[in-house]
Amino acid sequence: MKKVDVGIIGLGKMGILHAALLHKVPTARVTAVCERDQSLWSYGHSVGVKAPFYSDLDLMLQQQPLDAIFVCTPTGTHLPIVRSAWKQSPQLSIFVEKPMAESLASAAQMAALAKGTRVSTGIGYMLPFKPSLRKLKELIDYGSIGTVDRVSGYVYVTEVMHRRTGWRYDPTISGGGAVIEIASHLLAVILWTFGEPTTVSAQTRPDGTWSEDEASITMEYSGGRPVIQIETSRIKAGFPSMSVRLQIAGSQGEIKAEDEELFIAGRNSDWHRIDRREFPSSQVFDVGGDAYFLQDSAFISSVSDKSEKYAVDWDMGHAVQAVIHAIYQSAKAGSTQQPTKTGRGSDPQPSVKKRMEV
């Protein structure tokens, strides 16, 4: 099988991570890297990249016959990079790190550019590839806890103990704070599992022009079920790495995911931990968590085989961005908002299982 030739754009933390992961995907090879800051090139070499390095994107695309690119640059640069890449190389499949864009308007433009193409698109929301959450969705889809009534959860990481500088802390480039940078991971899981909500209400903290550190979010669906309540924080102490909890209550029981663990309880029974051997199995190269490797492998598979639709594509990214936008609008106005409907429903589990197997 012909290997997928990949270009990496940006050698920050995520660019280096993807370079290392793709080096271990048997059907992929990194054949070019673009990074303006040449002092970072040594980091690419340190993870095994032996491809040419460029400081100019146009030159890289002119000289390298690539099948796909991974865009790992500041969020506000995603749309212009996509435009430039497809203008010069319309055959490229494009994966962009999360979030999709700094605004709903930019995300909508990216989704529109992808319409009608035969290329693969992807967003770096890796949680739908986590084996415990894949099993959780499988159990929900199979009716193991009956009709879902309520969902609660959180996503926390201790990363900001004082005001910091850099593009991630500039809302004009990043698009916001804890909601778009951290909560968006859990929002992707919720939309992947339940589809797009009807209404959103939220409070963000602190108020003001600086990007928010915390948020409380409520989402509801037509018919009143389920009601989803989640919390996010990037300042809560005790979470050196991202921690995710999701608890789902149904008419016949409950299920909860806590990081790598999964538990289920019947309506009248105690919690039972589900053995990890029951999770969907895959060969995994674990750098930064198994979900990252499964994510990159699935995207490469979708580039090689056009019949395999990538689970978290730009339609999904657009839908997540619409909810993020409604969250910020709700917090600003102090009222419930209706997210723009993009038409992206939840994914059926069997097709996700098929394309995530490595």
Query: pLDDT tens digit string along 198-231?
Result: 999 999 998 765 689 999 999 999 887 899 999 9
Topology, domain 4-123: Rossmann fold (3.40.50)
- Spatial separation of the C-alpha atoms in residues 303 and 344, rounded to whole Å: 21
Mean pLDDT of 114-130: 94
- Give the pLDDT score at 356: 32
* Nearest one of 294, 237, 247 to 271, comparing CA atoms: 247
DSSP for 225-250, written as a single string: --EEEEEEESS-TT-SS-EEEEEEEE
Model confidence at 166: pLDDT above 80: no
Q: What is the pLDDT of residues 45-99, one digit of tens each?
A: 888 788 999 999 999 999 999 999 999 999 999 999 999 999 999 999 999 999 9
Alpha-carbon dihedral sign for residues 84, 52, 296, 219: negative
Quick one: what percent of the chain has pLDDT higher than 90?
A: 72
Does the fold of domain 127-279+312-356 match that of domain 4-123? no
Res 210: pLDDT: 65
Q: Domains of the chain: which residue ranges?
A: 4-123, 127-279+312-356
C-alpha 209/C-alpha 112 separation (Å) is 30
Supply 134's token pair: 């894949």
Residue type, 10: G
* Rounded-to-integer distance, Cα 100 and Cα 121, Å: 11
Q: Where do we find the tokens 């059907």?
A: 27
pLDDT at 131 exceeding the cut of 50 = yes
Residue 135 has pLDDT above 70, yes or no: yes
110-117 average pLDDT score = 94
Contact 74, 174 (CB under 8 A): yes
Classify domain 127-279+312-356 at the CATH class level. alpha beta
Confidence of residue 355 (pLDDT cuts 50, 70, 90): very low
The answer to whether the beta carbons of residues 296 and 25 sit under 8 Å apart is yes
Which is nearest to 140 in space by CA: 281, 243, 264? 264
Mean per-residue pLDDT for 270-279?
90
Neighbouring C-beta atoms of residue 153, cutoff 10 Å = 22
pLDDT of the residue at 171 = 78
